[in-house]
Every structure is written in structure tokens, then in C-alpha cells.
Amino acid sequence: MLSMVQISKILFLKEEGLSNVCIAAKIGCNPNTVSKYLKIWKEIKLEGTDLKEMKTMKNIKDTKDIKNTKSINAIEDINNINNINNINNINNINKIDNIDNINNIGPNRSNRPKKSKLDPFKEWINKRLEKYPLLTSVVLFKEIREMGYSGGMTILREYVSSVRPVDPNSSKGEYLRFETSPGEQFQVDWGQGKTMVNNMEKIIKYFVMVLGYSRMLYVEFTEDEKLSTLIRCHNNAFEYFGGYCKEGLYDNMKTVVKKIKKNKEYNNKFMDFANFYGFKVITHRPYNPKAKGKVERMVPFVRNNLLYGHKYLSMAELDNARIKWLKEANSRLHSQLEETPVDRFKRERKHLNRLIRLYPVRYLETRKVRRNGGLVYMNKFYSLNDIYTGKIVNLERKGGIVNIYLKDKRIKTVPLKIDVETRDLREYEDIV
């Protein structure tokens, strides 16, 4: 049986427009229990019965509309709630945690609180949270602002906190954050999330880089997590920041760490990339993601603000949203630093290593030209001049074309072949 405080909260939260499931999560009971008390309350109001006349068990049993109710005690509890509304002196009701809310539950509504600017949007917020319980207040604030909301963020945060279903498995531990000097370290991680693109649910992968001092953020959506993709994203992030830090912190992703031993064995191609720029590669010990907590925190931040609960017509629209959101994210007030990342970046920028030239991603794609003057790329055959037979060339894909280089000289540009082609097997004899 619920206490009077719990019943009062059920009635109050229902008046606020919450669903039974949300109310049950907030109270800590079964949704069926919520439905039971709300049904009794509704029947009493429709019947117009004087609750004082229903105190005795005899009267309750003789009441036609509630004779099938499972718990007669629930009636008595609601009677007590109604009596509280009619008490002039409330000094003795110290156990009630929110007297103002309880006074507004019963028939006497003369003390109804002043309407809030948020009231017209509460139903929308409740529906969004019921479907997507992890939506942040920032996302909801943006949505209702577009619908005409003119209030502030504080009242929205308080309301969302009061109605959001509590996840019993969630826990927030306290960790001491390791701060770095300007230009000293960046942190990198991968993330993924689901969103709706062209009315279809799609899994989106994304690259995240955070500058340790300023918390400046760079995000890029990708199709995979291959080494070439990782390096291309680094190049784009360095261009976005206008430079790069002295060291990079990573987890033990396979594109960085080849084997995890007492002495880690790093990926040679990635180390060649790091040596090209001259930054130091640091990896934390396995199963310790909190070691790079700055970027770890940004992974769900990106997912909740750009993917979770959103709908896009195309990937192009999603990428445009990413570009626009990055400006907003880097201009937000950081809760711990009490500064915006873009303001701190003004101090960090001058400490970054100067970006002179970008690492050629084509170095990762090498092919040996066969004796017939051709090569195979993505299971397709491309012809070159016989003079290049036996030489090692690099390939660079840009959109629908493939550039072929001999060292740093481009020797040919060909369209990317997509369709399946049929060739004479004799052309592949040297491969076999």
C-alpha cells in the first residue's frame, strides 16, 4: 500500500500530463498500481460522493461504482489526501514533502500556481521522453524554441529532472580530471549511434577529437573505422584547428596498437603517420576508458545531440547539421571550466604545432604494377603504361576518381570502377 505522500504525487504528476509509466518510474511502483489509484480517484469524482461519508468499511462495500476495486485501503488513503486539502492549519503535516503540490490535487483549486511558459510544451516533452528517455535538456530546449517557447533553460532542466524515468543501472562516479597545458594533448575516439535517415534507421559511425586544454571539439561521420579513414579524419581535424598538439592519447584500437603485450606493438603505418607530424602517441592500459575521459564524455554527447531521437532526409542533411552543431557545441559554457571552449582555444591556438602540409593518405594504398602494365584496386583492373611495370605506386581515392602516384608525382587519374566487369583470365596469369 502506498503512503499518502506517494498517492499525492501520483495525482499531481497526472495533472501535469505524465504517462502512468513515467509516474511509476518516478514513484517507484508498478504502473498497474498507478492505474488503480487513478481509477479510484476518477470514479469518486464522477460519482460526486462525499468522501467523509465513505470512511467506514460498511459504506465502502455498499458503494456500487467501487465494489470491484482490489484495494479498499486505497480509498481510505485517497480520503486522507482529500482531507489534507481541507485542513486550514498545515503545520502538522511535516511528512508531506511538497504541500503546494498536494493542495492543488483536490477539488479546491483556488490556490492554483501561476502558469508557466513551459506549460504548453509539457505534453510534447513527456511524449519525447517516453519514447527517448535519454534525450538531454539541451536537445529539448532547441526543439521547443523552434515551437515558440520563450522561457529559459533552468525551468526546463528542473522539469525534465522531475519527470525523466530513472535508470536503476545508471551510476555517476566521481573522477579526478587530469588537466593538460595548452597545446600539449589531444584525445581521439570512435563512436556510433542510430538515427533515422530517409525514414530508415541507420547506424552512424563517427570520429571524435578533443583538445585537452580548451575542450575544442571536432566530429566527422564516417563509413568505417579503417586506418585510412582514421588518418583522413586526423588531417581534417588538424585543418579545422589550424594545427595539432604535441601528443595524442588513444585507446588500444587495432589501427593504432597491433598487439597488446607487456611492451605494446604499434601499427607501423600509423606510427609513420605520427612521425610525419612529429606528435607522440600515447595509449592507456586496456579496459580503462576513464584515462581519456575528456573524449569519452564527448562520444555520448555527440550521439545524444545529433543522432538520438532525430530524423534526417539524407546523409547530406545530417552532415550539414554536424557543421552547424559544432559551432554551437564549441560555444557552450563548460560546466567545470566555467568558460566556453572557443574562448579557451584563443589561448591554446598559439601553442599548437604549425600545420605545414597534410599527410598524404595515398601512402597507405600501395600496389605493384604487373608485367602487363596494370594493377588491381578494389577488385577492379586498371591499366597503366608498360614503363611502370614492377614499380610500387600509391593510390588516392577522391569521390568518383582514383589518382595514381609514383612517389609524389601523379602519373594517371582514372574514374573509379563500380560495375562488375568481365575480363580474360589470361590477364591475371601473372597474379596467380
pLDDT higher than 70, residue 379: yes
Lowest mean pLDDT among 34-43, 48-57, 410-419, 421-430: 48-57
What is the tens place of the pLDDT at every residue in 70-97? 444 554 555 555 554 443 333 333 333 4
Check pLDDT > 50 for residue 313: yes
- Cα separation, 334 vs 301, in Å, equals 13
Mean per-residue pLDDT, 189-214: 94
- Whether the per-residue pLDDT at 165 is higher than 50: the answer is yes
pLDDT at 127 over 60: yes
Rounded Cα distance between 278 and 220, Å, is: 23
Give the pLDDT of residue 245.
Answer: 96
Report the alpha-carbon distance of residue 245 to residue 211 in Å, rounded: 8
Which pLDDT score, from 0 to 100, does residue 190 have? 94
Poorest-pLDDT segment among 108-112, 185-189, 250-254, 423-427: 108-112
Handedness of CA 367, 373, 376, 377 (dihedral sign): positive
| The three cell numbers locating residue 176 | 579526478
How far is residue 297's CA from residue 28's CA, in Å, rounded to a whole number?
Answer: 29
**Three cell numbers, residue 223:** 563509413
Rounded CA-CA distance 365/363 in Å is 6
Structure confidence at residue 220 (pLDDT) = 95
Q: What is the mean pLDDT of the chain?
A: 78
> Is the pLDDT reported for residue 202 higher than 90?
yes
Q: What is the pLDDT of residues 265-287, one digit of tens each?
A: 899 999 999 999 999 999 887 76
Q: What is the pTM of this model?
A: 0.56
DSSP H/E element including 405: strand 401-406
Per-residue pLDDT at 257: 92
Say which residues have a Cβ less than 8 Å from residue 423's Cβ, sequence separation at least 6: 381
At residue 372, φ and ψ (nearest 5 deg) are: -90, 10
- What pLDDT was estimated at residue 156? 87
pLDDT reading at 125 higher than 50: yes
